Amino acid sequence: MRNSDRQVSVLFVCMGNICRSPTGEGVFRHYVKAAGYEDRIQIDSAGTIGYHTGNHADRRMCAAAEKRGYSLDSIARQVTIDDIENFDLIVAMDVENLENLDYLVGRRLPHIRMLGSFLDDSDDPVMGRSVPDPYYGGDAGFEAVLDMIEAACPAMLEHCLSLSADQ
For 37-47, what is each residue's pLDDT tens digit? Answer: 999 999 999 99
pLDDT class of 122 with cuts at 50, 70, 90 = confident
Q: Which residues are catalytic?
A: 14, 20, 133
pLDDT of residue 121: 83
Gap between the Cα atoms of 130 and 121, Å rounded: 12
Alpha carbon of residue 87 to chain centroid: 12
Residue 2 has pLDDT above 60, yes or no: no
Query: How is domain 8-166 classified at the CATH fold level?
Result: Rossmann fold (3.40.50)
Dump pLDDT digits (tens) for 61-71.
999 999 999 99
Domain ranges of the chain: 8-166
* 132-153 per-position pLDDT tens digit: 999 998 899 999 999 999 999 9
Residues 93 and 131: their CA atoms lie apart, in Å, by: 5
Structure confidence at residue 5 (pLDDT):
61
